Amino acid sequence: MPLPVITQAQTVTTPRLTTRVLTPGDPAGVPVLFVHGNLSAATWWEETMLRLPPGFRAIAPDLRGYGEADPAALIDATRGLRDFSDDLAALMDEMDISAAHMVGHSLGGGILWQMLADHPDRVLSMVQVAPSSPYGFGACKADGTPCFPDNAGSGAGAVNPEFAKLLAEGATGDETPFHPRAILNTYVWKPPFVPERMEDILASALAQQTGPQAYPGDAAPSENWPTVAPGKFGAINGMAPIYQTDPLAFTRAPNTPPILWIRGADDPICSDASLFDLGTLGQAGAVPGWPGDEVFPPQPMIAQTEAALAAYEANGAKVDRVVLSDCGHSPYLEQPGPFDAALHAHLAG
DSSP labels for 264-277?
ETT-SSSSTT-TTS
Tens digits of residue pLDDT in 246-287: 999 999 999 999 999 999 999 999 999 999 999 999 999 999
Q: Please report whether residue 285 resides in a domain.
A: yes
Helix, coil or strand: residue 232: coil
CATH number at residue 99: 3.40.50.1820
State the CB neighbour count (10 A cutoff) for residue 56: 18
Tens digits of residue pLDDT in 323-345: 999 999 999 999 999 999 999 99
Cβ atoms of 200 and 44 closer than 8 Å: no
Q: Please report whether residue 326 resides in a domain.
A: yes
- Of the pLDDT bands very low, low, confident and very high (cuts 50, 70, 90), residue 245 is very high
Cβ atoms of 266 and 191 closer than 8 Å: no
Q: Please report whether residue 196 resides in a domain.
A: no
104-127 in b/e form (b: 16+ CB < 10 A) is bbbbbbbbbbbbbbbbbebbbbbb
Residue 8 has a pLDDT of 80
Cα–Cα distance, 35 to 235 (Å, whole number) = 14
Write out the residue range of the structural domain in which residue 114 sits: 9-146+246-348
pTM for the whole thing?
A: 0.97
Say whether pLDDT at 6 is over 90.
no
DSSP labels for 68-86?
TS-TT---BGGGTTHHHHH
Query: 245 vs 153, 232, 241, 271, CA distance in Å?
Result: 18, 15, 8, 22
Q: Please report whether residue 180 resides in a domain.
A: no
Q: Please report whether residue 331 resides in a domain.
A: yes
Q: How many domains is the chain partitioned into structurally?
A: 1
Tens digits of residue pLDDT in 24-72: 988 999 999 999 999 999 999 999 999 999 999 999 999 999 999 999 9
Say whether pLDDT at 230 is over 70.
yes
Cα–Cα distance, 102 to 343 (Å, whole number) = 11
Q: Please report whether residue 46 resides in a domain.
A: yes
Cα–Cα distance, 244 to 205 (Å, whole number) = 26
Closest by CA to 65, choosing from 189, 195, 211, is 211
Q: Please report whether residue 202 resides in a domain.
A: no
Q: How many CA atoms lie within 13 A of 11 on its CB side?
A: 5
Which residues lie closer than 8 Å to 319 by C-beta, 6 or more apart?
258, 259, 260, 261, 309, 312, 313
Q: Please report whether residue 294 resides in a domain.
A: yes
